[in-house]
Structure formats: C-alpha cells, structure tokens
Amino acid sequence: MGNSRLYNKLAIAKVELVKDNVVVEVVEDVLVKEYVVSVSVNGLEIRRYIISEDMVKEFVVGNLYSMGLIRNLGEIVEITINENKVNVKVDSEVLKRITAFTTTPSCGDQVVPEEEKTLKVNVKVKVYAKEVIEAIKQVFEKSWIFKITGGVHTASLYSITESKTLVTVEDLGRHSAVDKVIGWGLLRNIDFSQIAIATSGRVFSDMVIKAVRAGIPLIISKSAPSYEAVLKAREHGITLVGFARGNRFNVYSEPYRIAELEKIELR
C-alpha cells in the first residue's frame, strides 16, 4: 500500500498514559479515521455506512451481492461515485428487491429469503493444513494499518488452486472488509468456488451467509465462530475454520475439504 493511501486513513491524537491512577505521560497516538458512505439506489438513499476510505466501489458491489440484494454483477446498470455518495442504477425488479430488505440489529447484515435457505455449497475442493496456516499468516503479514493502530479488521481472498493470496483489505469493520474482497472478486470475475476467505474477525452467522451467496466453500478465521455460525456452515456446506493461529486451527464443519481430515465426520 502506498504511503499516501495509508496516511489518508490515519490521524494523530494526543493521549494520556495512566498508570496506578496517575497520568505518567502525554503522547501522540495514531488512530484510524472513519469514512461515511451514503449508498443510494436509483437516486433513493437506502443506507449510510461507516467504512475505511478506499475500495468504495468494491464495498458497495460486495455488500449488495453478499446481502442477496443483487444476484449477479449484470443486475447493476451503472455505479456513480461523487465523493462519499454512491448511486447504484438498477432495473425496476431489482429495485423492488433492494428497497424491501431488512437488517438485523447488529454490525452485520443478514437477509435470508425463503428461496436461499436451501442453498448448499457443494464444491469438492481440497486444501492442505499447511495452506490454511499460510492463508491466515499472509493476512497478518499485510495488515499494515493494524500493526500501526490495532484499530481495523483484515480480510483476504486466498486462491486454493494457486496457493496464494489474491487481495487483502483492511477496514474498520470485519463485515465491510469481507464485502470489499467479495466485491473485488466480482468485478474481476473470480471463480469463488476455488477461493477461501481469510479473516481476522469473529465469524457470525451473517458472515457465513455472505460466503454461501458467493459460493465460497471455505472460511478461515484467527478468531472464534458463534454457535449459530457453525450451524449455518454445516447447513449450507461451508468449511469453517476458527482459531487459526501459529501452526494450529479448529475445524467446525465440513472437514472433508481439509485433505488430512477428508475421512472425518463432525456431528
């Protein structure tokens, strides 16, 4: 990442270091900056988001897609970005779907229409344990803003067939980081069936649904999943890996995609 892009996301603030209830030092701390994006569809604002200030187009595309509000890139007629305002032009049928959506009272979005509840990711790809470890390792090697501030989440797309990371994104939120990498992949016609998402954040059920909609068979996180995320992963055929740290990790669902575990069943 270039220095100009990096520093546009950061700000300096004076802070007081306190020890044993006494201010021992006043220092300058580096903090991440919020960027408010207004997203409109056919001129009607549907929501405002707080994200990091880059890859706005990728975020909007990935967010609409991973929420099930668009089914493919062809449903978007045009995207215009004017500073922090984004307008997405769609046809009337897609507009009805988008304006009818609801969200959960959480930092993530989850819209699961009836027709999507039976979706299953049946891809038979195999990944070796060393690749799982390498994927999460590469996430943190490229987490420049996190190393400076500790204030962002990181997500990446890892190519199972090429054994390499295709893109890494840091963002204020773990959901928006994932939306950005999914949008990046959509705009480049990436075959998601051969991709793993690697993330620094906890995995909740809404994150699993994002992977299901994209057809991504594997989620790798250095953090914990929720119980509901594990249930969703098992229901929809997603291999969910958590606590990927150092040379170990936990597999919560569909272990057959990990080559060393292909004959193990989880119940």
Name 155's bridge partners: 169, 199
Catalytic choice (107, 119, 129, 166): 107
Alpha-carbon distances of 177 from 71, 112, 197, 250, rounded to whole Å: 20, 21, 11, 22
Collapse the DSSP code of 82 into the 3-class scheme (helix H, G, I; strand E, B; otherwise coil) and give the result: strand
Quick check: 257 and 126 in contact, CB under 8 A?
yes
Sheet containing strand 164-171, strands side by side:
164-171, 153-159, 195-199, 218-221, 239-245, 248-251
Collapse the DSSP code of 42 into the 3-class scheme (helix H, G, I; strand E, B; otherwise coil) and give the result: coil
How is residue 243 written in tokens? 């606590």
Cα maximum dimension of the chain: 62
DSSP-assigned states of every residue in 105-137: SSSS-----GGGTT--------B-HHHHHHHHH
Is residue 224 part of the annotated active site? The answer reads no
Beta-carbon neighbour count of residue 42 at 10 Å? 16
Helix, strand, coil percentages, rounded to 5, for the chain: 35, 35, 30
Alpha-carbon distances of 80 from 70, 101, 132, 162, 194, rounded to whole Å: 17, 22, 37, 34, 31
Q: Catalytic amino acids?
A: 107
